Structure 1
């Protein structure tokens, strides 16, 4: 693993330079005394979270959510929730609903004393269109009638300046007429396009007369067929920020080269009287690159469509619906985002940092339970045939106020296969013929042998118990043993489906450098087993989380669990099993 992959558990959190920007603006009163059209005083810090509703959010979006909503909360500000729905061919209401659910699950909302700040770019289509007409009239935009191929050819490259379109000096009145006819649906997709008139020789490719409106005859999930011209993202984004009185527009680094266009557009519209100074300020930060995961929407969609995973909410997916179903908590995600901090340069964050935040959150919360994942029968030969004896264990070892749980011990038990070895290796202290161990929370037993099938496979282990050795009684102090093993009653245990999930990829950077990420798929990322759990687990409800002692953290699946018949997902192991 390369040295630029950081393990956040071993590194101090990155300094948050965005806080410094906000605090400087507060100190100078840059955004003080602004009011909305109703005369209400606006917060001095207004951020926004602006996803496009064209897919499910992933862990990278979680960082942006926690950052924007978190900073607004920290500085008594506001974070607006805005859907950038300017591309009707890729956007659906399903994604809108899923995104809203994800943000709310993470613990944030967009309501304050000023109202409900849930917005859509499509709310502003009329205003955006009017502003585009102004830009044309003011000589800042023109309708270009070149083919897409000619536009691309004349745009130039990083070493050669672009060439002016033959339509660049088209009279404003002619461009305005064409633009209005574009809106009326008189032209086909791609026949004309509206471009900002900036500088075709600019070293920044984004400033070479960028497209700001295109024709697209497509049904929109909110506006229906009202429009057949739609604004480009680079045009819509700054306008949306300004309309919503955003002060600090925090974007990931790929938008850094777009900032000059952001500023240029708002300045031109301010000149036209649409907006007042101070205008929103865009600042970029490093996106989240997490090892052993991919966050490309296209590649995540490929995993779903090719049925490599079981849908967007597959617990191995880095989508928020996936990690939620896996058993992650909102608090663990927020803790993770706090630990990785905010940086100005891209780097890799190790998956163990995310898993560590989860363990730290669940350790104090999750009640304990006993589970046998790889069952082997243990028969206590001298245990009375019909005796059902109750054993007691704490609900949580560090929180005695949470009480105790009880479960029965009987003549036949289930233990883990690895807890018996007919011929023990050096240092093995669990069950083998002649050795004594303690059944955790129960009695000391001595192994007497085992039963095998016709193929020589061990099918049952036999032992005798010491009736005066029960945990919690005075007699237990008379027995000193090195081994302590888990068990459940064979006649009382809950038989349950348990899904052992692991990382989806074996390569820490599965799609870096153009690699085919499918070659790095982990064949052992999902294993379904039948396990036996202490009988009280029958009452587990969907999303209930537990620490299965010795094995890790598990959650009752929120989709497939039924009353009295929970299905469990392994959230994470007790320790990082991927440490080299």
Structure 2
């Protein structure tokens, strides 16, 4: 056997492998012959061994043909076990095999790259996404078998499939959780079914019988775990957590104070605060202020105001900087456990070690840097030098020692601390190093005993590193769960793009009513309850999608339809003189603030010899499909007993109509009008009409539904006609009472628990809380630039599809 041993060693097999093979005489003998056939090539010992396994029981005739396969392996033509199998199948079943046919049958020259496999896996999972999301990780083996059987994957290396499928499952489903743990699910089901089960946890979450649709009882939020059901590495940590929280739901909303919130954040606020409130728990408002160069106290104040405007009260307002000392202590603990190191690599070197190519694509070999092997003692010494300012910015970072072989990039030794020698707005110059989001977020969640760390899907891959770090420093591990974010078409949400719009003067500020920041929506007059209503309609799911802005407008319109009074507004007034009425004629007309809703009350407006109508409601020449005021044609004035008919006009030097003369047809001879128009009467006694300095009618800021797709950049997609301003508008005197009573929030004793939670909180006296429907025009609110002698109105949304006023 010594001779055979030498032959096996010559083809590059390790001693241990040789010893293992020699235990099977048939395989060893076959491999010894194959080694000789291959010229003792050491290029692919694994493939030669695979051929030996396949041909260990071959007939003499088949063995005679085998040399073709052995030579093809040695020459590098056969690269995978699939090719070897196909080649052996060909030569073992053919009397006179040829090299050309062997190469054809075994796919020689056909190269299936790692990228090809990843693309095929991604396409297959997308085509079968519904089933994959339903089965979750149970579908792994099914997908693996199915992708391998794809014709295009016939010659792919088997080793490429599982890493690609693991990575795609992670991207689509996120890390495994309780849904992928059958034992835990069975245990929970058994505990629920047993009336006298001695459960270690008493949950404060109450599950009510549904009587209406609820985002808290349906979809993503309904499937969340109860407090205490998120597993811990050490059960004692859960006991301490529950002792502190009393088994209540504890959530947090953790924005960075470096910009204003947008409509997407409203969904996060409603989810974080609403879920806790629904279950009788609490929610923190926590400012993630780990970057001293971008934080701004004004942004923090704006965020706090918006949260309250949406109707939520934080349990506590905290800052990540409150925990800087505790975070530093855990960083030292991580080092002492050999799970962190100080890295001196440049950003380019870090990318190379992570297998990231120069063009930004992934797939290269991931390797540890030299810094990773430093002892805990040396690492602690270097980290303290970082703390004490002995290194310059960019020279050193503290990185977590995670798992470079993991397909999840969030496990590729993330940075825990970096040097930022800048004063912090709350801690001053105490620190020269600051923790990263990846280090801070999960640990502060742990400090605050968060039971449900809810975030959007872009953090799905971060869940694994989140849980790894909590376990690594041996603290309570909250459960991170991810939901789909809210995106609207025809808008931009990124802070960078919003900043360009503001600083470039394309909009008047962060609260320009054409933006979808929450301060802009508030200024535009969108009620907080309408925003929350919209979120409730969409629901909370695990899918990110683009929602058409028209759907948002429809939701706002529906909300306003039921909650605001009606008034008559004339954006572009033209004077109408009723020549057959006395100069001092005045009749008070009673108008309901909302027809059919007597509880909203009524008010009186003066009807007199001089009234004002909108210029768009008059034509000199009538037509067959035009029913408003025209020469010789009658029209009704809303709530006025009789019609009016135009008789003549006055014009200025430019031919513009300045006055319409008409008669009030109160003799009973006029027919019932085909339409009615809004109007405002002139009466000094009633201080009517009320002049409006400006009426702003806003349209979508961008021309397209996807401004970011414009080849010239999103700024090139701005619509120059996105705003129109009327500067001579008039409004009826009922406006004064509307201002006094705003915000109009009719009591609704039948409101459900969800509706009460998602109702919002308008501030009494705030201009944007003065909302009304301008009959036949749209929904409006007062702008913050209004004052006693100058009223400015903003259009919230248009009326329903009244494309023509004919």
TM-score (norm 1): 0.89
Task: Say whether 1:463 aligns with 2:659.
Answer: no
Equivalent in the alignment of 1:192: 396
Q: Who is 2:341 aligned against? A: 142
Deviation at 1:375, TM superposition (A): 1.4
| Whole-angstrom distance in 2 between the partners of 1:562 and 1:409 | 27
Could you tell me which of 205, 222, 243 is aligned with 1:20? Answer: 222
1:515 Cα deviation from its structure 2 partner: 6.5
Contact 2:230–2:479 (Cα < 8 Å) also in 1 = no
Q: Which residue of 2 aligns with 1:288?
A: 486
The CA distance in 1 between the partners of 2:228 and 2:339, in whole Å, is: 36
Q: Which position in structure 1 is the counterpart of 2:782?
A: 556
Tell me by how many angstroms 1:398 deviates. Answer: 2.5
Residue 608 (structure 2) aligned to one of 410, 419, 425: 410
How far residue 18 of structure 1 moved from its aligned partner, in angstroms, is 2.7
Aligned counterparts, 1:26-45, within 5 A: 40-45=244-249
Deviation sequence 1:1-59 (CA, Å, 0-9, x none): xxxxxxxxxxx99994332332x436969799967689554344222111011100110
Question: Residues of 2 paired with 1:495 and 1:190: CA distance?
Answer: 61
Question: Structure 1 residue 529: deviation in Å?
Answer: 1.0
Residues 1:108 and 2:299 aligned together: no
Match of 2:258 among 51, 54, 57: 54
Contact 1:133 1:176 (8 Å CA) reproduced: yes
Judge conservation of contact 1:444–1:466 (CA < 8 Å) in 2. yes
2-structure distance, mates of 1:547, 1:324: 17
Structure 1 stretches lacking a partner, 5+ long: 1-11, 112-116, 470-474
Count of residue correspondences: 548
- Contact 2:228/2:242 (<8 A) preserved: no
Q: Point out the more displaced range, 81-90 or 203-212.
A: 203-212
CA distance in structure 2 between the aligned counterparts of 1:398 and 1:440, rounded to whole angstroms: 15
Per the alignment, do residues 186 and 405 of structure 1 end up closer, same or farther by CA in structure 2, a change over 3 Å counting? Answer: same
Displacement of 1:232 after TM fit? 0.7
**Which sits farther off after the overlay, 491-500 or 543-552?**
491-500
| Corresponding residue SS for 2:619 | coil
Report if aligned partners of 2:773, 2:780 keep a CA contact under 8 Å in 1: yes
Alpha-carbon offset, residue 538 of structure 1: 4.6
The alpha-carbon distance between structure 1 residues 70 and 525, as it changes in their structure 2 partners (threshold 3 A), is same
Name which of 587, 597, 601 aligns with 1:389.
587
2:690 to 494, 508, 516: 494
Distance, in Å, in 2 between the alignment partners of 1:50 and 1:193 is 24
Inter-CA distance 316–121: structure 2 relative to 1 (3 Å threshold): same
Q: Distance in 2 between matches of 1:524 and 1:573?
A: 16
**CA, structure 1 residues 337+577, in 2 after alignment: closer, same or farther (shift >3 Å)?**
farther
Give SS of 1:198's match: coil
2:560 paired residue among 346, 362, 372: 362
When residues 236 and 27 of structure 1 are mapped into structure 2, their CA distance, relative to the original with a 3 A threshold, is closer
Give how far 1:202 is off. 2.7
What are the residue-to-residue correspondences of 1:77-156 with 2, within 5 Å? 77-111=281-315, 117-156=316-355
The offset of 1:464, in angstroms, is 0.6
Partners of 1:29 and 1:49 lie apart in 2 by 20
2:371 partner SS: coil
Looking at structure 2, the residues matched to 207 and 29 of structure 1 have their Cα atoms a distance apart, in angstroms, of 21
- Mapped to 2, the partners of 1:126 and 1:429 lie a distance apart of 75
Of 427, 440, 444 in structure 2, the residue corresponding to residue 240 of structure 1 is 444
Post-superposition Cα deviations, 1:288-321, rounded to whole Å, max 9, x if no partner, equal 1101111101101111101111111111121111
**Would the aligned equivalents of 2:245 and 2:449 in 1 still touch at CA under 8 Å?**
no
Q: Given the alignment, which residue of 635, 653, 666 partners 1:437?
A: 635
**Offset of 1:467 from its aligned partner?**
3.3
Separation (CA, whole Å) in 1 of partners of 2:493 and 2:302: 17
Aligned to 2:544: 346
Greater RCO (CA < 8 Å, at least 6 residues apart): 1
Q: Which residue of 2 aligns with 1:521?
A: 718
Displacement after TM superposition at 1:431 (Å): 1.2
1:504 to 2:696 alignment: no
Q: Distance in 2 between matches of 1:109 and 1:514?
A: 44
SS of residue in 2 equivalent to 1:90: coil
Q: Residue 220 of structure 2 contacts residue 541 of structure 2 at CA under 8 Å; is this kept in 1?
A: no
Give the structure 1 partner of residue 50 of structure 2: none
| Distance in 2 of aligned mates of 1:577 and 1:513 | 31
For residue 658 of structure 2, give the secondary structure of its aligned residue in structure 1. strand
Aligned partners of 2:263 and 2:517 also within 8 Å? yes
Structure 2 gap segments, 5+ residues each: 1-212, 357-361, 740-764
With over 3 angstroms needed to count, the CA separation of the structure-2 counterparts of 1:358 and 1:524, relative to structure 1, is same
- Go from structure 1 to structure 2 and tell me whether the alpha carbon gap of 1:154 and 1:513 turns closer, same or farther (over 3 Å shift): farther
Residues of 2 paired with 1:134 and 1:537: CA distance?
A: 65
2:630 is paired with a residue whose SS is: coil
Give the superposition deviation at 1:563.
2.5
Relative to structure 1, is the Cα distance of residues 578 and 483 closer, same or farther in structure 2, using a 3 angstrom cutoff? closer
Q: What residue number does 1:174 align with?
A: 378
1:120 to partner: Cα distance: 1.0
For 1:352-373, what per-residue CA distance to the aligned partner results, in whole angstroms no more than 9, with x for missing partners?
Answer: 2222222222222211110111
What is the TM-score when the length of structure 2 is the normalising length?
0.65
Aligned-residue RMSD, C-alpha: 2.5
Instruction: Tell me the equivalent position of 1:568.
Output: 793
Larger Rg: 2
- Residue 348 to residue 310, structure 1, CA distance change in 2 (3 Å): same
- Check conservation: 1:103, 1:109, Cα contact below 8 A: yes
